[in-house]
Amino acid sequence: MDHFHYKNGVYHAEDVNLVKLAEKIGTPFYCYSTATLTRHYSVFSGHFADVDAKICFAVKSNSNVGVLNTLGKLGCGADVVSEGEIRLAMAAGIKPQDIVFSGVGKTASEMAFALDQDIFQFNVESEPEVDLLNQVAISKDKKARIAVRVNPDVDPKTHAKISTGQKESKFGIPMTAALPLYRHIESLRGIDVQGVSVHIGSQLINLEPFAQAFARVRAFVGELRAEGCTINTLDLGGGLGIPYGQEEPPMPDMYAQIAKREMQGLGCKILFEPGRVLVGNAGILVSRVIYIKKSGSRIFVIVDAAMNDLIRPTLYGAYHDIVPVVTPAGDAPTELVDVVGPVCETGDIFAEQRLLKVPAPGDLVAFRSAGAYGAVMASTYNARPLIAEVMVNGTQSAVVRERQTYEDLISRDTIPTWK
């Protein structure tokens, strides 16, 4: 459920008229719904209210400080993959003690910063990383609390570019190699083992891969404890999918049943790292039609948003529902159209041969389910400034990231003096 809907023929974000908002701030822009964020977090976390669980939002899916602050006030922590994301989470008011640091390529300086903040846990992903973290911790006379991210070799049945749990993935450590690593860690005086971490991929719409992975983690915890390892935390990652089009992903209560069943009786604090399932349907991208171009048998709807603003369709072939902001007239023709942006790339396509009411130049359209991996993956390709991000709350709206100006864009470059 989300809070984007039509009212008197005009698409609204909660109680905010998107036509008026577009007139006020220009297009394109991202718009996030506070009510949707609140509902999604409350529903997800509510299914774990009866166990010792901590929800840590995957900041990589949407790093806007306004979004992070909204989730943080609800009690959400943060799963981060860089020093920058740690800083964003803290700027949003999330306490370091509620931050988990994941990622395969942590640098010594990032480790040092995280140790200085006293974050809750590092999810380590290789023996060289463990050894470097040990050195950094010793140099600071600290102990780094860790969980080892194990790779259960489970096919998540999702897009290849967002699969992370198979044995040839760059992520995690194969379970066959993990037990020797835990033995090695016992000799490191800068490391304090807390638990085990797992994350098998993103946009999963089938529960079976979760069940397989969690069962293998449970068995592995038994092996570790038999070796004398103390395991107090289990980070089960994220990855639960959302409906972009015709998908029918499982509801959070079904996911929770599997997680709680597999972890029952282990006596561990359970961590979750949801991202897309909390923010995906809480955001839209609003864009204005520039031209309608006919070329041979094709009709191109050219909009002012582009692949640099929302790269998912180009990168993953991802589907986003596209809706008119003002309900079209009943006699408006319905045609197969290509919705494209102005970037100088053939791949700058949002939808190919999509059956839509053909809009007119100047009309507004909204790309739904754009709250995750949208603005956070944007770039300034073709010297296009980063677009505005807005949050709404009931009848209120606020710009939570200003539109970048051309002056901002150019000011980062300098001309060498020897020129």
pLDDT tens digit sequence for 367-391: 999 999 999 999 999 999 999 999 9
- What is the rounded distance in angstroms from the CA atom of residue 365 to the CA atom of residue 19? 10
pLDDT tier at 157, thresholds 50, 70, 90: low
Residue 419 has pLDDT above 50, yes or no: yes
**pLDDT band at 265; cut points 50, 70, 90:** very high
Four-point Cα dihedral 203, 205, 208, 211, nearest 10 = 50
Crossing angle between the packed helical segments 127-139 and 108-117, to the nearest 10 degrees: 60
* CATH numbers and ranges of domains, the chain: 4-32+280-411 (2.40.37.10), 34-278 (3.20.20.10)
Rounded Cα gap, residues 231 and 192, in angstroms: 11
Cα–Cα distance measured from residue 313 to residue 363, given in angstroms and rounded to the nearest whole number? 22
Give the list of residues 6+ apart from residue 352 with CB closer than 8 angstroms, or none.
338
Look up the pTM and report it: 0.94
Active site residue 344: yes
Average pLDDT over residues 278-304: 97
Q: What CA–CA distance (Å, rounded) separates 395 from 383?
A: 34
> Average of pLDDT values for 80-109?
97
The pLDDT value recorded for residue 164 is 46
Residue 355 confidence (pLDDT) above 50:
yes
- Mean pLDDT across the stretch 222-236? 94
Q: What is the mean pLDDT of residues 330-339?
A: 91
Choose the catalytic residue: 56, 229, 268, 344.
344
Comparing 12-26, 190-204, 299-313, which segment has the lowest mean pLDDT? 190-204
Question: Cα separation of 188 and 203, whole Å?
Answer: 37
Cα–Cα separations (whole angstroms), residue 345 to 306, 379, 386: 10, 14, 18
The predicted structure's pLDDT at residue 381: 98
The span from the CA of 357 to the CA of 376, in Å, is: 30
